Structure 1
Amino acid sequence: MTEILQTPKLVVVFGGSGFVGRHVVRALARRGYRIRVPCRRPDLAGHLQPLGNVGQIQPVQANVRARWSVDRAVQGADHVVNLVGILHESGRQRFGAVHEFGARAIAEAARSVGAGMTHVSALGADPRSASAYARSKALGEKAVLETIADAVIHRPSINFGPEDEFFNRFASMARLSPVLPLIGGGHTRFQPVYVDDVAEAVARAVDGEVEGGRIYELGGPQVLTFKQCMQELLAVIDRKRVLMPVPWWLAGIQASILGMLPNPLLTSDQLEQLRVHNQVSEKAIGEGRTLAGLGIQPQALGTMLPTYLWRFRPFGQFQRKPAA
């Protein structure tokens, strides 16, 4: 009797060429899915090809601000993942256009082909926030759930991993500067989550193992202040630096100036985000809407940072030899 081979399901991953995206694509590729990655510059997405088998991963051109390209990108999809996000506004890339309009466009396109959807937002998304970023993230979640009621929403805290723009940036700064700034005194609390844990949560949603119509808050096993994050960082890269508190008013002046740069270190909107603690809520913990609730054991910061920040040490991967 002839065996009929079933074609693997097609997952469309918007934003799959970015930091979180490449880890999500790898997690899905390991499960055997066919993966289509819509992005503005598919010619710059060649780094995704080695993550799967030949022909398994296909970058295509699309822009969430152009609805027709979104509709084209989801044709034939079984599931759609939205990872698209920006940290600061630039040119036509505005928070509303990307986080709200783009999320609604992707959700409507997914609904039109009968595909399920997983949307990755951000911990701290709040329609009443003083931060335009946080407000737009909340409006994007609302747009997705209004369109696909059983969509899965993931809200990760600060993602850390080999290509992150948080620990890598401060580690790079520590190589040259004798001082690291502590915005607002460094008291803001974070719950850094390893990027592979977020990718696993997304992959399980694609597998159908995550209950839809709910918002999941993804954080690591530790809640640390900004100051403690910097102390952990310095311990890993084996450097001693002065941690200098920067009052909010002074940080505001710096942000207004730095925000004018093409790739700003700090913007006024990011400063507003830093005023609010970024950690998983007690309600989410009680209702099992966390990594633990999804059956995922989160990786600790101290375990994973040394695996990629070693290059910022004075002696690289070699340990400093003790004095004789």
Structure 2
Amino acid sequence: MKRWLVLGGSGFVGRALCEQLVDQHGGGGVRITVPTRRRAHAQHLLPLPTVDVVEASVHDEKALMRLLAGVDAVVNLVAILHGSKDEFEHAHVGLPQRLAAACVRAGVRRVVHVSALGVPDDPASAPSNYLRTKAAGELALRAAGLDLTVLRPSVIFGAHDRFLNLFARLQAAFPVVPLAGSDARFQPVWVGDVARAIARCLADPTTAGQTYECVGPQVYTLKELVEMAGRFSGHPRRVVPVPGWVGRAQAFAMSVLPGEPLMSKDNLDSMQVPNVATGRWPGLPALGVAPTPVTSIAPIYLRGGHAGGEQLDDWRSRAGR
């Protein structure tokens, strides 16, 4: 019986990963532990037969050591898109540092870490707190001498995403969408493909020491993706690019309001780096995963046709539908 620990397993990518792993190993042989501060946040994982949801803080060193006891491999999915400089440091640097040290002490060598596309070799050269701390987190794990695989995805889409769904809701509510960073380029990747890639890395020890760029087959500007979200959801609206200074003023205004901002100044800084494959590292095909076009998945969930699990297409094909 193998035991895998998934940090951040109750989130968007974690949900798809747990579904994927249960789909592959539901008959036994693998046990998956997902820690969460509040069990209620992982209600959607409770029906999965080989997933154990445990209340624990992964930022607590003693709790992390207990979670690592008897574990064969760790997947780190913990990440934030918005926050202060200290919050980015806490999530993207502090946790990888603690995880690396705890893995060494616990004798757990195998780690799969999900980072981000656009991460530079030198953290100091990054234009945003997000990319800088993501780079520093990678370095912390690499320095520990672990059997480490790093995945760097572009923006991830799927039924439970906070990207295309958010822009679709905005266009349902407003007649015009002013958009900063409209020319920023992305290569969106389906969450189901990212989950398959992680599962493949867990199953294949030869992926240790490798970095993979996880991207879809097509490059889009942010404006094209926003327009796509409106069109697929049945609420196409006019998308109006705005100058950078206007976008930064909007971002500042939203940062002082309650709730998660639509776009922060740090997001705008991150978009200075094209979120597309560099070609320096192998991609999804090297892991046996054929990238799925956004146009074949997004219309299903944006139209409200199905808001369930990310394995929808797999299950349909197996049922002959």
Which bin holds the TM-score, normalised by the shorter protein?
Answer: 0.7 to 0.9
Quote the Cα distance in structure 2 between the aligned partners of 1:206 and 1:145.
17
Quote the Cα distance in structure 2 between the aligned partners of 1:151 and 1:71.
19
**1:124 matches 2:118:** yes
Query: CA 1:164–1:93 in 2, change beyond 3 Å: closer, same or farther?
Result: farther
Quote the Cα distance in structure 1 between the aligned partners of 2:5 and 2:65.
11
Report 1:149-298 matches (<5 A). Answer: 149-184=146-181, 186-208=182-204, 210-261=206-257, 262-284=259-281, 289-298=282-291
Q: Cα distance, 1:112 vs. partner?
A: 2.7
Structure 1: any 5+ residue segments left out of the alignment?
1-7, 313-324
> CA RMSD, aligned part only?
1.7
Quote the Cα distance in structure 1 between the aligned partners of 2:228 and 2:53.
37
> Which residue pairs with 1:299 in the alignment?
292
Runs of 4+ in 1 over 4 A off after TM superposition: none
Contact 2:65 2:106 in 1 (8 A): no
**1:145 matches 2:142:** yes
Quote the Cα distance in structure 1 between the aligned partners of 2:206 and 2:235.
42
Contact 2:227 2:237 in 1 (8 A): no
Question: TM-score of the superposition, structure 2-length normalised?
Answer: 0.88
- Which digits, 9 at most, give the CA deviation of each residue in 1:24-44, with x for residues without a partner? 111122232201001221232
Structure 1 window deviating more from structure 2 (159-168 vs 237-246): it is 237-246
More RCO (CA 8 Å, sep 6+): 2
> Which residue pairs with 1:95 in the alignment?
88
**1:23 matches 2:11:** no
- Larger Rg belongs to: 1
Structure 2: any 5+ residue segments left out of the alignment?
306-321
- Which digits, 9 at most, give the CA deviation of each residue in 1:76-135, with x for residues without a partner? 101111000111126x97111111110121222223333311001111223111200110
Q: How many positions carry a matched residue from both structures?
A: 296
> Which residue pairs with 1:82 in the alignment?
76
Q: Cα distance, 1:22 vs. partner?
A: 0.6
Structure 1 window deviating more from structure 2 (93-102 vs 156-165): it is 93-102
Quote the Cα distance in structure 2 between the aligned partners of 1:181 and 1:163.
24
- Which digits, 9 at most, give the CA deviation of each residue in 1:226-246, with x for residues without a partner? 111122222212333111011
> Which residue pairs with 1:60 in the alignment?
54
